[in-house]
Amino acid sequence: MKRSTVDILASYIDALHPIIYINHFDFRIIDEAIACVGKDVTCVEFNNALGLLDFKTKSPMKECSLEQFLKLTMDDGFENETFLILKDVHEELKNPKVIALLKRIAENNLYKDNYSSAVFIQSEITVIPRELENYITVFDIPLPTTNEILDIINDFTADMKISVEDETVDDIALSFKGLNEFQIRQILNLAYQDGGCIDRDDKLLILKEKEQFIRKSGMLEIINFTETVDDIGGLENLKEWLYRKAKIFANLDKAIKFGVDIPKGIMIIGMPGCGKSLTAKATASLFQIPLVRLDVGRLLGKYVGESEENMRRALQLSEAISPCVLWVDEIEKAFAGIGGEGGGNDVTTRLFGQFLTWMQEKENTVFIVATANDISRMPPEFLRKGRFDELFFVDLPNGEERRKILDIHLKKRNKWNKCIDSIALIDETEGFNGADLEAVVKETIEKAFIEGEVHITTENLLNSVKDTKSISSTLKDKIEAIKSTISKIDIKPASKKN
């Protein structure tokens, strides 16, 4: 049993946390930790199916309900120091009598000097009744550190009598970050059965298995994409910045050992349809890591504390799949209503705080790409340096960028030819965004097909430009508002000057 788990549990007991909720699937590991902490303590266990059990031997001693169990054992703390260990009782935590009994135990523990009884609830599902919120502490078993992962791999290779180079072990250990001991052993077994050895290629297997965990949870969405940096026209400053960070991700282990700070992420703010989502995808492709999307709306739950618990699990999951890009699209909408009045807003404010703290403290390899249009109502602390490595502003494309974007979309559809004078299109497309330009290309190609033409001409494109209402005409006010907000903050332009 890892020392840190035992130490943290012991410190909770010392600090009189009366009810400790442990969210974990492997009860054996938790029992070991409780046994370590409670060497001289009377441990009594309740199992939802079997009633009262002997904690050491697990043999059933008395069939009873949780309510009966608590009535039977709640005064034990007056005689001996007692641990009450309750397993899989989350459904019972909706019963008012059970809540009242747990509250009584917690209050005795806090206010009666001659009483000592701590309650441990073990379950994979967290249900925290409002009445017990102040008495319950949620405890997460810490995930293995890099050194602990190295020990797990080395133990495994020794058991299997296979030899693996130190550099490979270091490399693979990083890919295992975010998984628990049980999951790491499971994947090592799979890799060994697959090829009879452990090598660098197993990183792909680790990634696939991690994706499985994410899919099962339903908390995050894995995005499949084909876009690369070459699909982005312009945004040269942003691309240069990403190329530099890609060098770190390509050699993560070496970079960390060298003392390089792990990149935290970027915030991309700007005009609609100018390549923000495209950049999120291109980042994952450039860093050669998976792209997962955090949809805050999906995390909102009906019960008290449910949304926060979902956020905690989603962030933990993103760590499990790391290194990865965690994309929070339209972040200003995700956290809309922060600081406002009312129940829904309270939850959003708490979720936002949770996200900020996680970002501030994170030392993992989750690279955040947050994208936003209108940040006028975003709390300023979010934009403060130190949260993100950099803030970029994506403006409407300049002339040269418009030319590049048109070329990219023509080439993508195999309709680019050297007779097209894209320079002639620059003046006519002033105020168009990337999505408008893509629409011009699509429209032109469709027309050409219908009219039975083989090649696209500059004239065809100019005609489509005339028929297209650009974003600058349809969303004039919105664009002005974005420009005015941006002028007040310290932010880098994503594009180079024309």
Binding site for ligand ATP (CB under 6 A): 231-235, 272-278, 371, 373, 405, 408, 434-435, 438
Q: Least distance from C-beta 275 to ligand ATP, angstroms?
A: 3
Residue nearest to ligand ATP (CB): 434
Q: Least distance from C-beta 198 to ligand ATP, angstroms?
A: 40
Q: How far is CA 176 from CA 257, 307, 319, 323, 488, in A?
A: 17, 27, 10, 10, 42
Question: Of 144 and 275, which CB lies nearer to ligand ATP in the complex structure?
Answer: 275
Q: How far is CA 386 from CA 264, 267, 376, 417, 424, in A?
A: 9, 12, 20, 46, 44
Q: Least distance from C-beta 498 to ligand ATP, angstroms?
A: 14
Question: Of 53 and 280, which CB lies nearer to ligand ATP in the complex structure?
Answer: 280
Q: Least distance from C-beta 351 to ligand ATP, angstroms?
A: 21
Question: Of 17 and 276, which CB lies nearer to ligand ATP in the complex structure?
Answer: 276
Q: Least distance from C-beta 439 to ligand ATP, angstroms?
A: 8
Q: Least distance from C-beta 268 to ligand ATP, angstroms?
A: 8
Question: Of 139 and 392, which CB lies nearer to ligand ATP in the complex structure?
Answer: 392
Question: Of 44 and 274, which CB lies nearer to ligand ATP in the complex structure?
Answer: 274
10 Å CB burial of residue 11 (0-12, 13-18, 19+) is: exposed
Question: Of 272 and 493, which CB lies nearer to ligand ATP in the complex structure?
Answer: 272
Question: Of 228 and 357, which CB lies nearer to ligand ATP in the complex structure?
Answer: 228
Q: Least distance from C-beta 313 to ligand ATP, angstroms?
A: 26
Q: Least distance from C-beta 424 to ligand ATP, angstroms?
A: 20
User: Which tokens go with 99?
Assistant: 């809540």
Q: Least distance from C-beta 434 to ligand ATP, angstroms?
A: 2
Question: Of 117 and 285, which CB lies nearer to ligand ATP in the complex structure?
Answer: 285
Question: Of 254 and 469, which CB lies nearer to ligand ATP in the complex structure?
Answer: 469
Question: Of 164 and 278, which CB lies nearer to ligand ATP in the complex structure?
Answer: 278
Question: Of 188 and 408, which CB lies nearer to ligand ATP in the complex structure?
Answer: 408
Q: Least distance from C-beta 108 to ligand ATP, angstroms?
A: 55
The CB-side HSE value for 436 (13 A sphere, CA atoms) comes to 25
Residue 378 main-chain phi, psi, to 5 deg: -75, 135
The 3-class secondary structure across the chain, one letter per residue, is: CCHHHHHHHHHHHHCCCCEEEEECCCHHHHHHHHHHHCCCCEEEEEECCCEEEECCCCCEEECCCHHHHHHHHCCHHHHCCEEEEEECCHHHHHCHHHHHHHHHHHHHHHHCCCCCEEEEEEECCCCCCHHHCCCEEEECCCCCCHHHHHHHHHHHHHHHCCCCCHHHHHHHHHHCCCCCHHHHHHHHHHHHHHHCCCCCCHHHHHHHHHHHHHHHHCCCEECCCCCCHHHCCCCHHHHHHHHHHHHHHHCHHHHHHHCCCCCCEEEEEECCCCCHHHHHHHHHHHHCCCEEECCHHHHCCCCCCHHHHHHHHHHHHHHHHCCEEEEECCHHHHCCCCCCCCHHHHHHHHHHHHHHHHHHHCCCCEEEEEEECCCCCCCHHHHCECCECEEEEECCCCHHHHHHHHHHHHHHCCCCCCCCCHHHHHHHCCCCCHHHHHHHHHHHHHHHHHCCCCCCCHHHHHHHHHHCCCHHHHCHHHHHHHHHHHCCCCCEECCCCC
Q: Least distance from C-beta 473 to ligand ATP, angstroms?
A: 16
Question: Of 85 and 369, which CB lies nearer to ligand ATP in the complex structure?
Answer: 369
Q: Least distance from C-beta 35 to ligand ATP, angstroms?
A: 53
Name the one residue in this structure whose structure tokens are 């026209």.
Answer: 233
